[in-house]
Structure 1
Amino acid sequence: MTTIAILGAGVMGETLLAAVLADGHPPEGVVISEKLPERAAELHDRHGVRVTTATEAVRGADVVLVVVKPQDVVALLDEVADAVPPSATVVSLAAGVRIDVIEAHLPAGTAVVRAMPNTPALVGAGMFGISPNEACDESRLAVVTRLLGSGGEVVVVDESRQDAVTAVSGSGPAYVFYLAEQMIAGGVEAGLDPSAARTLTVQTLVGAARLLQSGEDEPAELRRRVTSPNGTTAAAIDAFDAAGVDVGLRAGVAAAARRSAELSEG
C-alpha cells in the first residue's frame, strides 16, 4: 500500500484527499496536515484519515503532496525536510514553483514532481500537467500519475513546458467561464430570460465538451459539421472572425504563458 501525506488541508488538499479515497485508497494509507484543531477534527470525521502536523505526516510517506500557496512552499519544505524519507516522492502542486527551488530545500537526491492542477479537479474532472526531476524514475512517476489521475486526467511534460500548461489548462477554465458569460449575456439580449439562457449555455458547453472528448475528431472538424453554409452558425463564426476572437484567444494564452514565466522567475 502506498502511503500518502497531503500537506495542506485547503480546498485543493481536501479535494485530492477525497479523490484518492474515492478511487479506493484505504484511509489508513493517507495522512493530512492541519494546524487548526477544529479543521483537523472536521477532516478526520468526514474522511476517517489521520490528521497531524506536516513533519509527522511525512514520516514513512511514499508520496508527499505539497498543496499550499506558492509563497508558503519554501518554509514548509524547510520544516519537513529532515523527516522526508529517502524513498519518498515529493509532488508540488504550487503554481510557478520550479523544481530546482523545491530540490534546494530537500535532501539531495529526493525524487520531485512539479504538477499544475486546475479547478475542475474539485468535481473529479481536473487536468494535471506534471514534470519529474531526474531522481524520479518511471515507477515513481507511474505512482504519481495514478494518484493524481483519481482527480482527472494527467499529462507528462518537460518542465520547460509548464508555463504553456499553466496558460492552457491552469488558466483555461476561466476562458470557458468567460465564454459562458458572453453566451448567457447574448442569449438575454436576444430575448431569453437569464435562467433559460444559463441552462442553455451550460448544457451546450457540457455537451460539446463530451462530444469533443468522445472521439478522435479535431475541434475544427466538429465545428465544420455544425456550420452549414450561409446558416446561423456560419453567421456567428463570421462575426467572431471579424471581431478577432480567434486572434484574441491565442493572444490570451500567450499572455498567460508569459506571465507564468515571470512569476516563476520571482
Structure 2
Amino acid sequence: MTILSSSGIAPDIQTMNLCFYGAGSMAEALVRGLLDRGLTEPTRISMMNRQNAERMRELNDRYGINGAVTGGDKETMLREADIVFLAMKPKDAADAIRGVRDLLHPGQLVVSLIAGMTIATLETLLEKPMPIARTMPNTSCTIGLGATGISFSSSATDAQRRLTDAMFQAVGLTAVVDEPMLETVTGLSGSGPAYIYYMMEAMIAAGAKLGLTEEAARELTIQTILGAAHMVKATGEDPAELRRKVTSPNGTTQAAIEVFAAFRFTEAVEAAIARASARAVEMGAEIERNAKS
C-alpha cells in the first residue's frame, strides 16, 4: 500500500471531459473539490441522474457544470466523456449500468464510487473490457481533506493510474490498496467522518447538559477535535502516546478514560468499523446477484 499526500495536478486532465453518472453528496463533494483546486473547468464536467431535473439545475447554478436534463443530453455526455464516474446508489447500480453500457467504449476510464461493487462485478455489467478504478472516497473531499482508497483493474494503464491518483490527491490523501482491502477502507475512512460527527454530537450534548450554552459547547467541541487531529499530524506521534501525555494519574482525563473503558469504547469502535466493512461486502454481494440476474 502506498500513501500519497496532495500534490500537483496531472496536466492532461485539463483537456478531458468528465461525466458523473449520479449527483448525490459524494459526487458533488468530488466536483466541488476538483473545481476549487483548479484541476479542471466547469465546462469540462457533466452530471446526470435518473430523473431529478431540479437537482441538475441546482448543480448547474451552483458550479456552472453541465447538468443533463434530457435523455439525449445523457447519451451525448456519456459518449463524449474521457472519464466516466459511476456515483449512483448501490441499489440502483446494476440496472443503471446496464442501461448505459452500450454508450461506453474501451477508450474511456471508468471510475467507480459505488460502495461494495467489485471490479469483477462491474466488468460483468459492462460486458466489455474497460480500464476501471474502484474508489472509496469520503465527503471531506469537499474541503480538500478527503481520504480515498483506490484499486485498479488489470487493464488500467500506468498513465490512468497516475491520473486517478492525481484527481483524488487534489481533494485529499489517497491510499492505493489491493482490492479486498477496500472494504476495510470503507469501514474506516469511507464511513469514518460520521463516527467523528457522532462523537461530536455527544460531546456537545454533554456540555450543554452540564450547563454550557449550546453555542459554547459546539465551538469548544469543534476546536478540540480540530486541535487533536492537527496534533497527531504535526507531531507525527502515535495517538496513544499523545493520550498518555495528557492523562495525569488520578486526574480528570484518567477519570473520563476509565468511564470510556467501562463502556468498552475501543471494542465498540472496532466492532463498528468491522460491521461497516462487512456491510460493504454484503452490498457487493447484493449488487453481484443483481448483475447476474
| Residue 204 (str. 1) matches residue 217 (str. 2) | no
Give, as a single letter, the amino acid of the residue that structure 2 aligns with 1:19.
Answer: G
Distance 1:71 1:186, change over 3 A: same
Return the TM-score normalized by structure 2.
0.82
Deviates further, 85-94 or 55-64: 55-64
Is the CA contact 2:90–2:283 (under 8 Å) kept in the aligned structure 1?
no
* Deviations, residues 16-73 of structure 1 (Å, cap 9, x unaligned): 2222222211233222225544443443343333333332212232211111111222
Letter in 2 for 1:44: N
Map of 1:6 onto structure 2: 20
For the Cα contact (< 8 Å) 1:163–1:260, is it kept in 2? yes
- State percent identity of aligned pairs: 38
* RMSD between superposed Cα atoms in Å: 2.1
After superposition, the Cα gap between the structure-2 partners of 1:56 and 1:256, relative to the gap in structure 1 and judged at 3 Å, is same
Tell me the TM-score normalized by structure 1: 0.90
Listed as ranges, the gaps of 5+ residues in structure 2 are: 1-14, 287-293
Relative distance call for 1:185 and 1:17 in structure 2 (3 A) is: closer
The 3-state SS of whatever aligns with 1:105 is helix
Q: 1:99 aligns with which of 119, 140, 155?
A: 119
In the alignment, which of 49, 64, 75 is matched to residue 65 of structure 2? Answer: 49
Q: Aligned partners of 1:47 and 1:216: how far apart in 2? A: 37
Measured after TM superposition, the shift of residue 152 of structure 1 is 2.4
Cα distance in 2 for residues equivalent to 1:37 and 1:192:
44
Of 256-265 and 128-137, more deviation after overlay is shown by: 256-265
How big is each residue's C-alpha offset from its partner over 1:155-198, in whole Å with a ceiling of 9 and x where there is no partner? 11111112211111122122212211222233234332332222
Which residue number in structure 1 is paired with residue 280 of structure 2?
260
Give 5+ residue unaligned stretches, structure 1. Answer: none
Paired residue secondary structure (1:227): coil
> Deviation of residue 208 (structure 1)?
1.0
Amino acid at match of 1:108: K
Corresponding residue number in structure 2 for 1:30: 45
Following superposition, the deviation at residue 102 of structure 1 comes to 0.9
Deviation sequence 1:119-159 (CA, Å, 0-9, x none): 32343322211111111122211111222233322211111
- CA–CA distance in 2 between the matches of 1:68 and 1:103? 16
In the alignment, residue 24 of structure 2 is paired with which amino acid? G
Query: Counterparts of 1:53-64 in structure 2 under 5 Å?
Result: 53-64=73-84
Partner residue in 2 for 1:116: 136
Q: Could you list the per-position Cα deviations for residues 215-242 of structure 1 after superposition, in whole angstroms to 9, with x for gaps in the alignment?
A: 3211112212222233221222222223
Quick one: which of 95, 110, 114 aligns to 1:90? Answer: 110
